[in-house]
Amino acid sequence: MIEAGAAHATLLSIVHGRCFAPGWDETEMAALLAMPGTFALVAPDDEPAGFVLARQAADEAEIVILCVLPEARGAGLGRRLLDSTIDRLRADGAASLFLEVARNNMAALRLYEGFGFVQVGLRPRYYGDAVDALVLRLNL
């Protein structure tokens, strides 16, 4: 696993575009990476199959993106990315971690629930007319 920087913006946009429609382009990824308190972890480092992008302000953090390529899902990569992110945030003094996830993304919900995330909010139709976002929190 490696920490991504601005030089990885193109790679991150390609992986993101294969996981989500519409994907974020290189400019959007570079802008996110440049935000204060933001970091991204990419795994594996030889041929990336997924990444997590998170940001921290004071003792609160949020996962902006966690994605794993479809062909790499189910092998524990999401869990390893989340583990590494949580370890880093704890070391940096974060006390809570937030994220949002589509209500119908059952694999992601199982992953997050397995870590102890709990629902603290709902964003109706956040992902289009039919899909709500659940806001989840994990106390670190």
Average pLDDT, the chain: 94
pLDDT per residue as tens digits for the range 10-53: 999 999 999 988 889 999 999 999 999 999 999 987 678 999 99
Angle between helices 77-91 and 106-115 (to 10 degrees): 40
Which residues partner with 101 through β-bridges?
134
pLDDT at 105 over 80: yes
For residues 98-108, give the mean pLDDT. Answer: 95
Closest CA to 82 of 116, 58, 46: 116
* Local structure of 66: helix, strand or coil: strand
Per-residue tokens: 48: 């990336």
Domain of 17 in residue numbering reads as 2-139
CATH number of the domain residue 112 falls in:
3.40.630.30
pLDDT at 65 over 90: yes
In this structure, the strands spanning 60-68 and 38-43 are unpaired
How many domains are contained in the chain?
Answer: 1
